Amino acid sequence: MKAGNRIAFDVEKYLEEQTREILERIERFDNKLYLEFGGKLIFDYHASRVLPNFDPNVKMRLLQKIKDKIDVILCIHAGDIDRRKVRADFGITYDIDVLKLIDDLRRDWGLEITAVVITRYEDQCSAQLFKNKLERRKIRVYTHHATRGYPTDVDLIVSKEGYGRNTYIETTQPLVVVTGPGPGSGKLGTCLSQLYHEYERGVRAGYAKFETFPIWNLPLKHPVNVAYEAATADLKDVNVIDPFHLEAYGETATNYNRDVEAFPLLKRIFEKITGAQSFYRSPTDMGVNRVGFGIVDEELVREAAKQEVIRRVLRYRCEYMMGLVDRETVERVELLMNELGIQVEDRRVVPPAREAAKQAERKKKGHNGVYCGTAIELHDGAIITGSNSPLMHAATSVVLNAIKYLADIPDKIHLISPHILEAIGEMKRNVKDDKSISLDLEEALIAVGASTPLNSATKLAIEQLKNLKGCDMHMTHIPTPGDEAGLRTLGVNLTSDALFSTESLYVM
């Protein structure tokens, strides 16, 4: 469903409300607030998919409005470094994502990182190497061990042998943003450790949580909240009604199980640290989330959220085939999809992609007996298809067809020079010992660029590549690394069926 000129989310209204809420929260705590940022600090593409018109960098726009009042602490779990955990939307490991985030904040937003904290550190060699790399680039790095007594012994947790073992991180601004590359980074533990040290120093600091999803003032089974549950199915998060909020205020609020389950312990820790009754009466109280007030077109938002659930089903099915998640995770998201009364075929690009694969098989256009189809929905609503051939992958075919359509170039005109195709094929056969000369998308984009001096139409087509960003696309097979890299560069919203494009176990 295309939004057209309709606005689903009012970014400016959200920025105004969210900024005011954060500033008011700072004033409640002696002008010192530790704000745990859930989700992605920048490039929050999940939010921009379920809330059309939401700026994926809106959090940074918000922080820029108060940049003279903030310090930024980045947390990363030592175990994630050791396991080389990957951030799926960029295809990079969490430690590399931290490096990228530091660069992005400096270059694009004019913000310096105050410190990096490696949490639950157990002298892992990989974590130590990461620490060395950062310190030699003049970045302050702290290592925090697992907190003794956590989660049962509050007296030990809030003591010199608990949070007191962690080195205090010096900050100078009233707002300390604590973020990380993903869930489980140790953000909450870092905030609580800092609170302990602040109170030891006589500073009445506070804590709050900036978590976009689930949206507390939307119903439990609203598609946006269901989409969050689908996105975190591998973590086994479940949305629930906040019973503490209901009891305290008589109001229904949506939260998720981990926050609700942890609240009694957090409340006791807060009270132990401060020596006073907790400021918060519910986990919802801890949040400063105003995103629900920015929704201005309920119909568009509900439809976008349903599409995100379908996208997650397709993604988890592929990850199951690749051995990255268990069957239970797939079944959880499929159940959520069924609860919303939708199916995979409701994603507009799925049926035409599958039909393109069937047509290729009927015409015997494929190679090695595998016929791949793909479809992309352009911003004007047009759906363009492609399929594999001895010369190019299906992803390559659909991208070339799409930019030809956008540039109004006749189909018979080739964008890649035959001489360049021949040279690449020769190189792949002789240098890479590759039996197939079929171009994946990453190779094809280079070939198209190299063809520009030989073909004026190619330059017009290349100018249209930027217009593929944010378009929905589906493939009938899991993309090869070269296709995936090329599609990530273009910024398309890709899904695929849980089938491999080749019987080979090792794919370059």
Q: For residue 30, what is the domain's CATH number? A: 3.10.630.10
In this structure, of 226-240, 250-264, 337-351, 425-439, the range with the lowest mean pLDDT score is: 425-439
The Cα 332–Cα 140 span in angstroms is: 41
**Cα distances (Å, whole numbers) of residue 122 to 81, 83, 86, 157, 169:** 12, 14, 21, 18, 19
- Helix (H), strand (E) at residue 108: helix 94-109
Query: Cis bond leading into 181, ω under 30°?
Result: no
Give yes or no: residues 47 and 159 share one domain: yes
In a domain, 322, yes or no: yes
Residue 372 lies inside a defined structural domain of this protein: yes
- Select from 276, 163, 266, 119 the least CA-distant residue to 207: 266
Whether 288 maps to a domain, the answer reads: no
Determine the structural domain holding residue 274 and report its residue range: 213-283+296-341
pLDDT of residue 40: 79
Do 319 and 408 lie in a common domain?
A: no
The per-residue pLDDT for range 467-501, each reduced to its tens digit, is 999 999 999 999 998 999 999 999 999 999 999 87
Which helix (H) or strand (E) element contains residue 184? none
CATH number of the domain where residue 250 is located = 1.20.1570.10
Q: Which amino acid is at 188?
A: L
Q: Is 508 a domain residue?
A: no
Select from 212, 247, 264 the last residue of a domain.
212
Does 222 lie in the same domain as 188? no
My answer on whether 226 and 136 are in the same domain is no
229 and 322 part of one domain:
yes
Question: Would you say 34 and 78 are in contact if contact means Cβ atoms under 8 Å apart?
Answer: no
Q: What is the mean pLDDT of residues 125-139?
A: 94
Q: Is 161 domain-assigned?
A: yes
| 422 CB neighbour count, 10 Å cutoff | 11
DSSP H/E element including 286? helix 283-286
Mean pLDDT of the chain: 91
| Number of domains forming the structure of the chain | 3
Task: Indicate whether 93 and 171 sit together in one domain.
Answer: yes
In a domain, 151, yes or no: yes
**CATH number of the domain enclosing 409:** 3.40.140.40
Q: Is 290 within a domain?
A: no
Q: Is the distance from CB of 402 to CB of 378 less than 8 angstroms?
A: yes
Residues 356 and 324 in one domain: no
Q: Decide if pLDDT at 506 tops 70.
A: no
Tell me the C-alpha to C-alpha distance, in Å, between residue 112 and each of 3, 6, 68, 169: 37, 37, 11, 15
* Domain-located, residue 44: yes
Domain boundary among 212, 239, 266: 212
Question: Predicted confidence band at 421 (pLDDT cuts at 50, 70, 90)?
Answer: confident
From 354, 353, 363, 362, select the one nearest 398 (Cα to Cα): 353
90 and 34 in a single domain? The answer is yes
Query: Would you place residue 1 in the very low, low, confident or very high pLDDT band (cuts 50, 70, 90)?
Result: very low
pLDDT reading at 43 higher than 90:
no
In the prediction, which pLDDT does 338 show? 97
CA-CA distance, 38 to 60, in Å (whole number)? 13
Same domain (yes/no): 229, 124: no
Kindly report, residue by residue over 302-356, the tens digit of the pLDDT: 999 999 999 999 999 999 999 989 999 999 999 999 999 999 999 999 999 999 9
* Claim to verify: residue 208 and residue 220 sit in the same structural domain: no
Pick from 187, 212, 237: which residue ends a domain?
Answer: 212
Look at residue 484 in the predicted model and tell me its pLDDT.
92
Q: Is the peptide bond before 151 cis (omega within 30 degrees of 0)?
A: yes
Whether 226 and 165 map to the same domain: the answer is: no
Asked if residue 29 and residue 156 are part of one domain, the reply reads yes
